[in-house]
Chain A
């Protein structure tokens, strides 16, 4: 059969490359990139008390940039390259065209597309950890933390679970788009780091309303819609599974939001937008390990569970467990990512449909993938329990890896710089750390308070101290 002219390969579009797949993969990578830049940047910036707006946004902004550089420097090949040990690949650069223009390890795509696609996942994982550390981590300590954690934790989890040569992948773990690699990992690492860094100032812990709810919704919206790329790009092909994954993603999320709203209304009397966003996040996180391999009705069930179990752990259990109360987790990353991610991994072990796993993994031994529900239904109960066991084993591995590695990294950084900001920085916030303030809305667009730590490079004039009483004008 002769191909039409638009399908005939040439040097720039080799015969192993599919334009639809490449276009889709680049789109999904961009969508996931948008989830962080500007998604999480503005979500963090607006979710925190105003005095921490810039610092929070900056932690995210910096982390994204740093991870990308480390990724092409060594991280991609440690996560997806030739095996060094059973849990890690050999480090190596991904920087020359000879390497990047070859076909990727999976899909009808060039390696360059794959490198970029995977990089935005690595980046967002680190940015999620920042969420646990907002409002008090020494910025220099964060600068060091990013490349260290990325190199010694993310790459190991990614290789073990996603690289076809990783030990957990070989055992048959199902992590469609990162419930374990991204969310459980970030949630546990964030919690551990928050423990070592210490809490925010007492004043900040007590009183911390979001400084800009609308901007928070903007960030949340980019996060939600960008997830079409997160889960839709996981199969590395613009196939039936990617369409199903996207639908499942949004259905689970919508159900989770409505469940969380219902619980908020029943127990607190009022439906809150912040609660809706938390419910949105838990839904997105929970469906991630399962999106393309479960039925849509299962996605609804997962949404109900992800809208209620993390709600319970966050609102009820948290106040009863001493360890949880001890650690200062400002935006509850532990509940929305560790708990929801672990939950998602287990529910994947329940609901993974054999046929859909076959369509997704496209390997000859696809029959090893089997949700417990289908194991019980098809009389393959031992295989179903085995799958569940593997999911739990993967969970355990990720948890232990992160507790250990994150602790070592925090200890190591602590030898060089303090982990927590000084008391003066904690008192003054952005102005002390960055010499900048998030808003200049008062009078004719001036800053609210006098500048005590001028940033001479970007500042144009000094302002005199403006009394907040009696002169504030909201236009």
Chain B
């Protein structure tokens, strides 16, 4: 390296640092990707594993871990360019591999984002970092969408059916949403606002999850009736990674370490905090006690709700959004759900419909109300403002509704078709004998081996137990001394 070169120069002769590369932006983008990756692995992996009943801990974690790995391979093989590449249809890009260094080391570019700024000037999204950083960043979003979807079908989906489902849903649903709203598709050019994935990620996974839960069928009755989290502290660890990682989720969306990114990070945390407090307050008012799990749900809805507007709304608006996201999904989950017989029929294990579909839709609509024009001007293609700011803001609100309807309809349809196709070859739900036993039957593993000398639980050795907290046990026909057993009713 030439010792005479200074660190910043228009004439820096370093082949790995071309003229278009801004190190601050690249560093931040890679950091943001890592943060979002951590949200999934281990964030959601351990959150799922610890929020479910102990017998499903390993299976739930496994579904998430598998999805993370499988999505990455499909992403670089074909899906990145289906979501961010050249146009095939107004709602879909042409798939192609993103595997060669010729493609990955050049400047990042979203070709179909090209839009007119003035009569003779066009602009395309061309960040100051290489394609590889963008491919990886967008992968982490695709992965977490699939993992969120899994949350609706925990505790009974046939693992082989899940393995087939992940690449299919990624190809036929996620890429469509991503291209339409982010990759330069029709909704993007029409001017719909989805800053960081309220529709692409959350509304999408919430609706698809509910649909999948319908087709896969419910958990065992005994599981539905009693499903306590097996490790609250570890759940909080996962929730913590999820919350802090969101700085990458919303902070990385402008593709630069700029002022909009800073506002986004601040808004994200403000909304999450407000939402958590409102949800907890509602819990205290209606149920008497503040619950930590409720607090986590409130944190989640706040994070989801701010996502479509994080870099585009004022922080006071983020507080308003937090109040609404801490209450409206609370009402839908705790009150409306119990009154709607149809919702009661569908077994959505973690309530992903409420925390992601409802909160995501809420966020998208609120963004249509509260998007501040100066902030919008920083990163959006067309003159945009929320309804509260007058002008063409009312139209913006309508656009948000229309986009939501598209995402909902597409997800219901595609998820249904995919599952019906899979069902021709693989049963969607586990067989009853596996449902009875849980992890041990599906994976040959159990989450904990804490008893006696550090062994798995074995009633013949560690004693039958009764208490007001745990289930009444009886002699189980599934006892197998060396490998541990789960109690069945």
Binding site for B on A (CB under 8 A): 1, 3, 7, 9, 15-21, 23-24, 27, 31, 48-52, 106, 108, 203, 207-215, 217-222, 224-225, 228-229, 232, 235, 237-244, 246-247, 250-251, 253-255, 257-258, 261, 268-274, 276, 295-297, 300, 353, 355-356, 358-360, 362, 429, 439, 441, 468-475
Contact = CB atoms under 8 A, between A and B. Distances in A.
Given A214-B231, A474-B470, A27 B27 contact: yes
A9 B9 CA distance: 12
Contacts of A217: 42, 45-46, 49, 61, 65
A468 B23 contact: no
Contacts of B449: 49-50, 209-212
B263 to A, nearest CB: 18
B450 A240 contact: no
A471 B470 CA distance: 12
Interface in B85-133: 97-101, 104-105, 129-133
A20 B27 contact: yes
A269 B160 CA distance: 12
Given A20-B22, A225-B34, A250 B72 contact: yes
Interface string B47-65: 0011000100110011001
B466 to A, nearest CB: 9
B485 to A, nearest CB: 13
A360 B443 CA distance: 42
B266 interface: no
A469 B33 contact: no
Contact of B447 (A27, A49, A212, A359): A212
9 A-B pairs with the lowest CB-CB distances in the bound complex, closest first:
A221-B42, A20-B23, A50-B454, A469-B463, A24-B27, A49-B454, A18-B7, A209-B449, A243-B132
Contacts of B238: 218
A243 B470 contact: no
Nearest to A209: B449
A221 B139 CA distance: 16
Interface in B421-477: 442-456, 462-465, 467, 469-470
A239 B33 contact: no
20 contacts: A24-B27, A27-B31, A48-B454, A50-B454, A210-B449, A212-B448, A218-B45, A225-B34, A232-B30, A238-B27, A242-B30, A246-B30, A258-B66, A271-B62, A296-B98, A297-B97, A362-B1, A362-B15, A468-B452, A468-B463
Contact of A209 (B23, B99, B132, B456): B456
Contact of A296 (B24, B43, B104): B104
B21 interface: yes
Contact of B16 (A222, A274, A359, A469): A359
Contacts of A27: 27, 31
Contacts of B98: 296
B159 interface: yes
Contacts of B7: 9, 15-18, 21, 108
Interface centre among A52, A254, A269, A360 (most CB of B within 10 A): A254
Interface centre among A214, A232, A240, A468 (most CB of B within 10 A): A214
Contacts of A221: 38, 41-43, 45-46
B397 interface: no
A360 B37 CA distance: 25
Contacts of A218: 42, 45-46, 234, 237-238
Given A239-B26, A247-B104, A247-B136, A271 B234 contact: no
A239 B21 contact: yes
Given A24-B23, A27-B31, A300-B76, 12 more contacts: A7-B8, A15-B7, A50-B449, A212-B449, A214-B46, A218-B45, A220-B42, A244-B104, A246-B30, A356-B101, A468-B451, A472-B462
Contacts of A258: 66, 69-70, 73
A373 B169 CA distance: 36
Contacts of A470: 463-465
A170 B336 CA distance: 71
Nearest to A269: B444
Contact of A213 (B10, B33, B61, B131): B61
Interface centre among B16, B129, B237 (most CB of A within 10 A): B16
A88 to B, nearest CB: 24
Nearest to B132: A243
B135 interface: yes
B249 interface: no
B334 interface: no
A273 B43 CA distance: 16
B290 interface: no
Given A51-B453, A222-B42, A276-B65, A243 B100 contact: no
B65 A274 contact: no
Contacts of A474: 54, 465, 469-470
B443 A355 contact: no
B465 A471 contact: yes
B465 A214 contact: no
Interface centre among A3, A15, A225, A246 (most CB of B within 10 A): A225
A244 B46 contact: no
Contacts of A211: 448-450, 454
A271 B100 CA distance: 31
Contacts of B450: 50, 211-212, 439, 441
A247 B73 CA distance: 11
Contacts of A253: 69
Contact of A16 (B6, B45, B132): B6
Nearest to A215: B234
Contacts of A270: 442-444
Interface centre among B46, B98, B470 (most CB of A within 10 A): B46
B73 A239 contact: no
Given A50-B449, A51-B454, A261-B66, A20 B73 contact: no
Interface centre among A207, A209, A429, A468 (most CB of B within 10 A): A209
Nearest to A23: B27
B18 interface: yes
A39 B101 CA distance: 31
A273 B445 contact: yes
Contacts of A473: 465, 467, 469-470
A31 B470 contact: no
B489 interface: no
Contacts of A224: 37, 41
Contacts of B463: 468-472
B24 A243 contact: no
B330 interface: no
B68 interface: yes
A254 B6 contact: no
Contacts of B417: none
Contact of A254 (B17, B57, B73): B73
Contact of B101 (A255, A269, A296): A296
A113 to B, nearest CB: 13
A214 B232 CA distance: 12
A222 B45 CA distance: 11
Nearest to B228: A475
B16 A235 contact: yes
B14 interface: yes
Contacts of A356: 101, 105
Interface centre among A21, A108, A237, A240 (most CB of B within 10 A): A240
A213 B101 contact: no
Contacts of B133: 243, 246-247
